[in-house]
Structure 1
Amino acid sequence: MTVQFTDADREREYSPSSCIGGNYAPFLQAYADLSAHALDRHAVRRDLSYGVEPRQKLDLFLPAPDDGAVAVAGTPRPALLVFIHGGYWQELSKDQSLFAAPGALAEGAAFAAVDYTLAPHATVHDMALECRTALRWLHAHADEFGYDPSRIVVSGSSAGAHLAAMAGLRSWADDADLPAGLPAASVLVSGVYDLLPLIGTSINDALSLTSADVTAISPLRMSALGAPPSVVCWGEIETGEFKRQSQAYADVLAAAGALTDRFEIPARNHFDVIIDLTTPGTLLGDACLAWLRAPR
């Protein structure tokens, strides 16, 4: 059930920077710096088109050797971690979303960062369809690049967690289901899973959501039956609403038999929590990397 707030309270609760004094620019710079470091150290297939629109592109890192060769018979193909960035559906891009690539590669997994068309040039519904199209493209090209199509894990932060959750839901009214087993798992970090409370906030200025829109694009208002095994987590330094929404969606997934873990990450805020995505020895990193390690 949606908590009732004054307009000012709701604005604050859905402004994650309110927990850190309002300035989140240093965290965006950290994303960019770490992503640039990943590009310097690792080979990457940049700007692969999964559709015809300018933002329908992705970057793909493959474990060495970066030749897409099929593994020796009997050797499992690597898993693929797909990351969908946040930014309230209206900022950031894949170019600041490559920071988890080195950690995935260190585990012998591939990594892809997905771009999608931002508001106001696309609706949230359109963005979710784009992310589903990107997953279909990655699944269809698994043989070409040499990763395992049955071990594609989707992850996302904030708005990206919403899109990752939407990508894994079945029985869309206006889109065919993804191939069976796609994605193999979801790692959802600090997401927004019910968009209704955003109406009336400044966040909606670019999104133009109406109450009629939210049922079809809010995971909390959709069936989770058939959803992939999912991890749901959030930072300790988050607003009450971000924590409540994560807990509520974890409850929905648990009822559908699709929740594998939920947890709060101490001393992390809405912006730095995702940097741990593939860092071993961290709560989030260990939970994510468990899906990427080769089966024994």
Structure 2
Amino acid sequence: MGGWRDMSAEALEDQYSPSRWSPRLDRDTIIDAHLAVTAAGTERARASAQTSLHVPYGKGDGEKLDIYFPTDHSGTFPVLVYIHGGYWQCLSKDESGFAAPPLVSQGVAVVAVGYDTAPRGHMDTMVLQVRRSLAFLVEQYPEIREVAQRNSPMRHVAPAVPAACEVLVVVAQHDSPEFRRQSQEYSQALRAAGWSVSLLDLAGVDHFDVIEKLSENSYILTQVILNMISRA
């Protein structure tokens, strides 16, 4: 079976650079465009939702998170934890609240987690920080449900347990072939371990607008997330 082990360093760099695969914009402008879209969406979300911003979950300067509360949060509520990407080098929680409006309007809280990106943060540190943020949320809001991701999910596929959560793996049509292969392989590994897994292959989107569109009420992924939460 092929994969990254068969690639040259140059080919591997291409596969892991989403800006090289989008048909919408060239590689020199798509990242700036993505930052502009997510930053503007986050600004709108902060203006329209009730929030608790820059909440410390640890002692480090980068260990803060933003909470976008649902319109009615007097009782229990589900939560979507958003852990931003950025090739471990860029982006932050401050551009990660753009998906909140369609969810908070339906009673779902959105939490954008900050962590120390490279070079300040090592991958092991990033994983520990994300785990720390989830432990903080569970302690502060014991009524939510939480799901922790490890830094290499394929290496940590455990057998499903009773009442295990449903897993949704999403990949964009214009993700790189390697990203698409890994999504398929991860889905298969989870399914083989007994998990309930859905693989959603979204047409007409790339690595960037596949999440940018989460700010839209009618977007298929927004609706799938809300549907999964309603069944939980």
Give the TM-score, by structure 2 length: 0.88
Q: Match of 1:277, SS?
A: helix
Mapping of 1:32-71 within 5 angstroms? 32-65=39-72, 69=74, 71=75
2:18 alignment counterpart: 16
- How many residue pairs end up in the alignment? 222
In the TM superposition, what whole-angstrom CA distance separates every residue of 1:9-46 from its partner, at most 9, and x where no partner exists?
11111111101321321011100010011111122101
Q: Distance in 2 between matches of 1:93 and 1:81?
A: 17
Contact kept? 1:108, 1:293, Cα under 8 Å: no
Q: Distance in 2 between matches of 1:113 and 1:86?
A: 11
CA distance change for structure 1 residues 278 and 29 in 2, over 3 Å: closer, same or farther?
A: closer
Q: Distance in 1 between matches of 2:78 and 2:192?
A: 27
Q: Distance in 2 between matches of 1:105 and 1:82?
A: 13
Contact kept? 2:41, 2:215, Cα under 8 Å: no
**Residue 165, structure 1, aligned to residue 149, structure 2:** yes
Contact kept? 1:277, 1:288, Cα under 8 Å: no
Q: Distance in 2 between matches of 1:250 and 1:271?
A: 21
Identity within the alignment, %: 33
2:109 alignment counterpart: 110
C-alpha deviation, 1:291, in angstroms: 3.1
1:231 alignment counterpart: 168
In the TM superposition, what whole-angstrom CA distance separates every residue of 1:173-226 from its partner, at most 9, and x where no partner exists?
xxxxxxxxxxxxxxxxxxxxxxxxxxxxxxxxxxxxxxxxxxxx4222233324
In the TM superposition, what whole-angstrom CA distance separates every residue of 1:113-134 from its partner, at most 9, and x where no partner exists?
0001111112112111111111
Q: Among 222, 225, 230, which residue is 1:288 paired with?
A: 225
Q: Distance in 2 between matches of 1:165 and 1:286?
A: 22
Contact kept? 1:278, 1:288, Cα under 8 Å: no
C-alpha deviation, 1:278, in angstroms: 6.2
Range with greater deviation from structure 2 (271-280 or 10-19): 271-280
1:129 alignment counterpart: 128
**Residue 272, structure 1, aligned to residue 209, structure 2:** yes
2:156 alignment counterpart: 222
C-alpha deviation, 1:277, in angstroms: 3.4
Range with greater deviation from structure 2 (5-14 or 81-90): 5-14
In the TM superposition, what whole-angstrom CA distance separates every residue of 1:140-195 from its partner, at most 9, and x where no partner exists?
1115xxxx32x34x5xxxxxxxxx631xxxxxxxxxxxxxxxxxxxxxxxxxxxxx
Gaps of 5+ in 1: 72-76, 155-163, 167-216
C-alpha deviation, 1:112, in angstroms: 0.8
Give the TM-score, by structure 1 length: 0.70
CA distance change for structure 1 residues 229 and 278 in 2, over 3 Å: closer, same or farther?
A: farther
RMSD of the alignment, in Å?
A: 2.0
Q: Match of 1:165, SS?
A: coil
Q: Match of 2:190, SS?
A: helix
